[in-house]
Amino acid sequence: MRLSFYICLVLTFISFSLTAATISGEITDQAGKPVPFANVYIQQSTIGVTANAEGMYTLKVNPGTYQVVFKTIGYKQLIKTITVTDQNITVDIELEQEIYSLKEVNVSSKQEDPAFEVVRNAIKKRKQYLNEVKGFSCNVYIKGVQRLMNAPKKFLGVDVDQIGKEMGLDSNRRGIIYLSESESKYNFQQPDKVREQMISSRVSGNSNGFSFNQASDLIVNMYESLVEVGPLSPRGLISPIADNALFYYRYKLVGTTYDGNLLINKIEVLPRRKNDPVFRGFIYIIEDSWRLYSVDALLTKDAQIQLLDSINIRQQYFPASNEAWMLASQKFTFKGGILSFKFGGDYIAVYRDYELNPAFAKDFFNGEVLSVTKESNQKDSLYWKQVRPVPLTNEEVVDYRRKDSIETLRKSETYLDSIDRKSNMLKPMSLVLGGYTYKQRFRKQTWTISPLLPNNLQFNSVEGVNLTLRGSFRKELGDRRNYSIVPEVRYGFSNQHLNGNVSFYYRFDPTKIGSLSLKVGTEVVDFNDRGAISPLFNTVNTLIYQDNFLKLYERRFATMSFSREVANGVQMNASIDYADRNPLVNTNYYSFRSDSTATYTANNPYYGFNNNAAFIRNQALTFSLSATISFGSEFITRPDGKFYVGSKWPKLALNYRSGLNILKSDVSYDLVSGRVYDTGIRLGLLGNLAFSAGGGKFVSNKATWFMDYQHFKGNRLTFYEGSSSNVFRFLDYYRYSTNDYFIEGHLEHNFSGFFTNKIPLFRKLRLEEVVGANYLNTDGLKNYAEVYFGLQRLMLRAELGFSWINGKSYESAFRLSTSF
């Protein structure tokens, strides 16, 4: 933002604080109990606040006489005339519970409930109200509170009780684990352009932290037929006033009441089928105009939501102009649990100072959906006291005070060293399972040693038992800049080869996602650079089934890589690699069976049995250049970096790889390739679609070795690792690699429970249906195709697949996979 904006903002704030007074008080019901989260605003304006969970409110105004509106779901609206001088005043409010009467309507058990007619009228008006405002700007205040409600003392060897004490939880490991407030300027233009500017941010116990609150994440627009709620529901949810809502909902008119001269219909919404992706609860619709007045909706696991057990959404609307009603506030209350941990919390958003249909600059919406200023977390408590529209509860005041008071202590070298001494204690099994981490928090340094199991102690027919020892050192430099050094040693006990290398990684520009890496040494690698089969799965198949699928060679190398964003959504990567490549042969024929010598194939991608070397020693100097282009990419900019949040369009990846016949290099080729892909196209209730289509060609090929070929992600196992859409289910790992041309395509659709949700047993298992197809055409493999059908739950999947080569049936089988 420009400096002039900040100057104006400061002057406005100073002048306002010199003249403004406050109206504050407590909102209770007739029994004297607090009424939480009531809206308080000046009539015929968008100036307003919201009461907190204890019913306390504070409204800042200039001297004058105001008609102040107090309203919330379930209570009669109260309009009170209040005169304010230059002195703060206290006005306690008692709200009368709303009584919804059915006297004005004729309800008969033999007739359709009158609510259906009200909803039909609202459905007819839905698109009009969805599009009546072409754009708007408003100020949004968000307060988020997350609480740990139950947790074990220890979990998988981790001392949860100690971590809870460090986080400020009570002796039962309960309390606030995240408390944050933010103020933003939110801008919207039809149909879906968003830009948000976070002006102020506060995180309890972290004065240097930036809030993760985001207004666009909290907006649930019931005027949309399909309501998107992000990862909570991959298929989306049917609005109670969607075009097809009557197929999913039943309605019951609870009663009517008046807000001034507006007749409000309170309508209960009930799912026709228990497990459809729908809301439960109440909607309030204004008679004649058929607008939404307020919403009180509930989502449970019956609606197939993920991550959470339940979430309650309460919305209140108010007239932002004579023509349009806009959101005044939204509150989300959620509960969830995983294993022995139970959590919950609430987020409340207050919208005010609307400007409807503003004249946005032509390039105002540039893909930046959220920007967080560096100064946003430097506001003091006095500032927040002046601008906060929702007073803090006693619990929140205590949390801020306690965590902020000990923050300085927690940053001290003495305190951090004491924490390190306890967490850095070496446990006997750490080097076998889980690894070991040694931290120096004050110096922002971390050393790690990777565990032996399950990935670093393996077996293959080339090295026999092989052991890898890997460590790392990481140094944080501030502003998400860091560097790391990773040494690695590997020894094959059968071929008695010792390999070692060290890599250096430096992230130098988080705002442009800039990084530099260097790696030098020796290593044992797969011929297939796409990764044929994981070493763990190869170990199991070699020892048990005598299938030594993995084919390896050794190289002495030096590699330098550079990556940086060159334009929004365009990431460039360049690397140069020099390698001395040496063949390896089988040296160990052991298996849990006795006839492995006869069945093990040679260590070459041609599957011979003569144990000859796959190639002669050679040298290769290779240069690679690639670009990934995200069209219309949306992103968040924060002082500590830039974060992409996706795009509505597929991505384009372009690649060039050249074998340079200089400096005694034995390769000479040029490969160009590209692909278009998207990992998640949302198709509403039908789920999500992923696809990838591309191809490439060696435009010159004077000298290539097998490891220089274009390889593909294949599979020959019944149970395999990696169930992504770009894996061929029946393709050999090496046989069809090419140094000529290739055309490759993948398509996968996840119905996300569209069918299984209708089957009682499958519904309880929360299974997702998957269908997919793969295609490959090369100079050596004509028109290879696969189709598969499967069910998955979390990271496990079962599939039945079929394949063809040039129209002739090739292979069909049952497959199990994991994406751990």
> What's the pLDDT tens digit per position in 138-167?
999 999 999 988 888 777 666 777 777 767
- Please enumerate in sequence order all residues whose Cβ is within 8 A of that of 760, keeping only pairs 6 or more positions apart, or say none: none
Instruction: For residues 521 and 500, give the distance between their C-alpha atoms in angstroms, rounded to a whole number.
Output: 6
Q: Are both 241 and 340 inside the same structural domain?
A: yes
Beta bridge mates, 505: 484, 517
Per-residue pLDDT of 3-52, as tens digits, reads: 333 323 333 333 333 346 788 899 999 889 999 888 898 887 878 888 88
Cα angle 217, 220, 222 (rounded to 5 degrees) comes to: 165
CA distances from 140 to 349, 390, 732 (A): 7, 12, 56
131, 246: one domain: yes
- Please tell me whether residues 158 and 197 are part of one structural domain: yes
What would the DSSP string read from start to end of 653-706? EEEEEEEE--TT---EEEEEEEEEEEEEEE-GGG-EEEEEEEEEEEEEEEE--G
Examine the domain organization and report whether 46 and 155 are in the same domain: no
Whether residue 549 lies inside any domain: the answer is: no
Task: Specify whether 150 is located in the same domain as 51.
Answer: no
Domain-terminating residue out of 356, 382, 408: 382
Domain identity same for 239 and 170? yes
- Name the domain count of the chain: 3
Write the CB contacts of 158 (distance below 8 Å, at least 6 apart in sequence): none
The per-residue pLDDT for 763 is 77
Are residue 161 and residue 40 in the same domain, yes or no?
Answer: no
Work out the average pLDDT over 263-282.
Answer: 93
Q: How confident is the model at residue 212 (pLDDT cuts 50, 70, 90)?
A: confident
Global pTM reads 0.84
Whether residue 352 contacts residue 48, with contact meaning beta carbons closer than 8 Å, is answered with yes
Q: Give the angle 549-555-557 at the CA atoms, nearest 5°.
A: 140
Q: Which of 577, 434, 565 is nearest to 509 (CA)?
A: 565
Tell me, yes or no, whether 662 lies in a domain.
no
* Geometric angle at alpha carbon 101, from 98 and 107, rounded to 5°: 150
Structural domain contains residue 782? yes
Output the 3-class SS for 59-119. EEECCEEEEEEEECCCECCEEEEEEECCCCEECCEECCECCCECCCCCCCCCCCCCHHHHH
Query: What's residue 753's pLDDT?
Result: 86
> Within this chain, do residues 361 and 239 fall inside the same structural domain, yes or no?
yes
pLDDT band for position 611 (cuts 50, 70, 90): confident
DSSP-derived letter for residue 631 is T
Question: Is the pLDDT confidence value at 649 over 70?
Answer: yes
Which tens digit of pLDDT belongs to each residue from 288-345? 999 999 999 999 988 888 888 999 999 999 988 878 999 999 999 999 888 788 899 9
Please answer whether residues 653 and 626 qualify as being in contact, where contact means their C-beta atoms are separated by less than 8 angstroms: yes
Q: How confident is the model at residue 109 (pLDDT cuts 50, 70, 90)?
A: low
| pLDDT, position 48 | 85
Residues spanned by the domain of 696: 683-820
Q: Do 59 and 127 share a domain, yes or no?
A: no
Residue 510 lies in a domain: no
Question: How far is Cα 308 from Cα 297, in angstroms, rounded to an integer?
Answer: 15
CA 59 to chain centre: 36
Domain boundary among 366, 382, 398: 382
CA distance 254 to 265: 8
Q: What angle do CA 628, 634, 640 make, to 5 degrees?
A: 90
Supply the CATH number for residue 71's domain.
Answer: 2.60.40.10
Whether 242 and 343 map to the same domain: the answer is yes
Distance CA(745)–CA(677), nearest Å, equals 10
What is d(CA 372, CA 95) in angstroms, rounded to the nearest whole number? 39
d(CA 491, CA 464): 10
Tokens for 560?
Answer: 């330098």
Say whether the peptide bond before residue 451 is cis (omega within 30 degrees of 0).
no
Cα 621 to Cα 68: distance, rounded to the nearest angstrom: 76
Out of 32, 64, 94, a domain closes at: 94
Q: Same structural domain for residues 171 and 48?
A: no
Whether 666 is in a domain gets the answer no
